[in-house]
Amino acid sequence: MGWMENRVVLITGAGSGMGKALLERFLAEGARVGVLEFSADKAAKLQAEFGDQIAVTQGNVASYADNQAAVAATVAAFGKLDTFIGNAGVFDYFQSVNDLDGNSISDAFDELFSVNVKGYLLGAKAASEELKKTHGSIIFTVSNAGFYPGGGGPIYTASKHAVIGLIKQLGQELAPEVRVNGVAPGGMKTELGGLNATGTGGQTLDSMPGLEEMIENMTPLKIAPKPADYCGPYVLLASAENAGPMTGVTINTDGGLGVVKLFPDGE
């Protein structure tokens, strides 16, 4: 057991990738976990794998009612809520403004922002009253795209910059009862999906050839982390004992993209 023993955490998008890694890490730390998962198949598999350690709600993060249902199911199962983690996301597959079909931009923007930004805000709203009771916390999954270009196309990058704004604004509005922070992982090989509006809805990041080599080559640490490697900062931020003074903060865990050399040695 660890810092999170007897704490209750609700995670969106925990059926695979970063979300499932977080679920497994928080269970290992002694927490009990609620889940809001869009895929009915993934939701059923989670329930079968983890049983009464978790409370699974199948639903859409872009629906306020579904977020409310996930909070209610988590509290009904475990009696309270200490941390809400907004993590569910979709990707634009690096489609640049030059590559995007102008007629599809509006639909693509709405599709991505409804999950990556609106889903976080709706989840925070649905969880806020329970979190105030426990003096709990909110943690949003950001991305290196929340700080730098090149981590996606303009739609994805704009969404992650918007999440940085949400962290700061909600950190102000929900203080002093609730802390609001973020973690900004770098790239990783997951089942992160694309957009129906651009014809990439059936794609997943783990099908991209050479992805891990690309990540290794672009970061000073020369590593391609797995989702589990990014979980530590979430546990830190969820722990009031260890992160009590921290709110409105985003921890970068991107392998050092902020210290990339502009020029090779000798130039």
> Which residues participate in catalysis according to the annotation?
156
Instruction: Using alpha carbons only, give the angle 248, 254, 256 rounded to the nearest 5 degrees.
Output: 105
Gap between the Cα atoms of 243 and 223, Å rounded: 27
CB 253 within 8 A of CB 183: yes
CB 107 within 8 A of CB 113: no
- Output DSSP code: residue 220: T
What backbone phi and psi angles, to 5 degrees, belong to 17? 60, -135
Gap between the Cα atoms of 198 and 108, Å rounded: 6
As beta bridge partners, residue 9 has 33, 83
Gap between the Cα atoms of 215 and 235, Å rounded: 24
What are the C-alpha distances in Å from 86 to residues 19, 182, 236? 9, 9, 16
Helix (H) or strand (E) holding 250: strand 250-253
